[in-house]
Amino acid sequence: MSKAQTITQKILAAHCGREYVEPGELILAKVDIALGNDITAPLAIREFRESGARRVFDPERVVLVADHFAPNKDIPSAIQCQMLREFAREQGLAHHYEGGDMGVEHALLPEKGIVVPGDLVIGADSHTCTYGALGAFATGVGSTDLAAAMITGECWFRVPESIRLVYQGKPGPWVTGKDLILHTIGDLGVDGARYMAMEFTGEAIGHLDMAARFTMANMAVEAGAKNGIMAPDDQTLAYVQPRALRPWQVLASDPEAPYAFEKTYDVSHLEPQVALPPSPENVRPLSRVGEVRIDQAVIGSCTNGRLEDLRLAARVLKGRKAAKGVRLIIIPATPWIYSQALEEGLLKIFLEAGAVVSPPTCGPCLGGHMGILAPGEVAIATTNRNFVGRMGHPQSFVYLANPAVAAASAVAGYITGPDDLT
């Protein structure tokens, strides 16, 4: 009889040809998808060439997305995107996205069916852990590891211990997956899950749509985790089935699987959460934030730029306008999301509210473009990090919140929730 394993152990074991792997063990595993973007892939491409390699291990499984400084904001970013374009053409890559095909990578890959349950995915971007919402093991790596994987189709891993996070109850109005994960990071701290697998489970997860689940898995890295993951359920499979480009495998943790520790959260009475600068762990309930004046509100990113997020923001913004002096920036995460938002009339609501609607891009999240902050300016954002200088000048300040809170704050001119708007 084989030993009990978590879903993370099972995926890693399957990808190194074994029935069982032990937490802490060093393994060489095959990857299903190797992902790079316009910041990290150029470094990997240079390493690829310097190694003497001629061909990627599989042109169907190396994915390049130009999303961070795209549309190109300057000459260096244009050169980086050019490197991706030329490498993709040379290697015959099936999945190279730029221009009108480009979306924020971690929203785009699930939407395109490129990642499926049971996959092992690496990406030269820390928020690659997003795909854990599909029941995949997905983690960020450095550009050198990406180069090695592009050549060999393999990567070294230390099998992480898992922590079990159980969410009970049903989230209330205006409470989203963003609030659940912010609350968790506030409890665990930015290194509380260091190099562990954060396994999300419980009845509250069942109440969340896929967009909210992607948000939770996306921010696992903000607690220091190696990956975040959820076992697929009927809702997951309903999302995957019409999109999947490959067969998938549904796995779940064994009842007696080993965990480093377990935490239980009752979210029935949880209110929207806000992370204050300068850290995602500096979390407070909205009611305890106080009246913080803002200069900018950003709704978008790989964390909260999906259609469900835009719908939530539109519910708050409909018939209202952003406060004078507040720059409201809305960034649909993919062309499909942009198109759907247009069809549903969401973009009209945003434009009438005085928002700037950006093409899909990471944009201001990493201090790239499309909304950089000046000294002393304050932003509320649906992004995932609020470190010093993250969205611009080192003397600017970023507060993290869900799309409803960001939208309400844009209308009020200070951080507040939808229920407090007149």
Same domain, 171 and 226: yes
Same domain, 251 and 352: no
Question: DSSP assignment, residue 194?
Answer: T
Alpha helices in 162-299 (DSSP H): 177-188, 203-206, 210-218, 234-240
| One-letter amino acid of 56 | V
- Decide if 422 is inside a domain: no
pLDDT at 162: 98
Same domain, 241 and 279: no
Same domain, 365 and 244: no
Hey, what are 46's tokens? 């240079």
- Decide if 345 is inside a domain: yes
Same domain, 60 and 159: yes
Q: In angstroms, what CA-CA distances link 18 with 13, 27, 33, 110, 254? A: 5, 10, 20, 27, 17
pLDDT at 94: 98
Q: Global pTM?
A: 0.97
Q: Cα–Cα distance between 122 and 145 in angstroms, integer?
A: 9
Low-confidence ranges of the chain (pLDDT < 70): 1-2
Q: Cα–Cα distance between 248 and 242 in angstroms, integer?
A: 13
User: What is the enclosing helix (H) or strand (E) of 197?
Assistant: strand 196-201
- Decide if 393 is inside a domain: yes
Same domain, 282 and 260: no
Give the bridge partners for 200, in sequence order: 165
> What tens digit of pLDDT does each residue of 232-255 get?
999 999 999 999 999 999 999 999
pLDDT at 419: 96
Question: Do residues 252 and 31 make contact, with C-beta atoms less than 8 angstroms apart?
Answer: no
Positive or negative torsion for Cα 294, 325, 302, 166 = positive
Same domain, 214 and 284: no
- At which of 264, 286, 321 does a domain end? 264
pLDDT at 274: 98
Q: Cα–Cα distance between 363 and 380 in angstroms, integer?
A: 15
The Cα diameter of the chain in Å comes to 67
| Range of the structural domain that residue 246 is part of | 7-264
pLDDT at 1: 46
- Given the structure tokens 């109440």, which residue do they identify? 207
Burial 175-195 (b: 16+ CB within 10 A, else e): bbbbbbbbbbbbebbbebbee
Q: What is the CATH number of the domain that holds 58?
A: 3.30.499.10
- At which of 264, 291, 320 does a domain end? 264
Cβ neighbors of 238 (< 8 A, separation 6 or more) are none
In the chain, the number of structural domains is: 2
- Decide if 34 is inside a domain: yes
Same domain, 23 and 92: yes
pLDDT at 90: 98
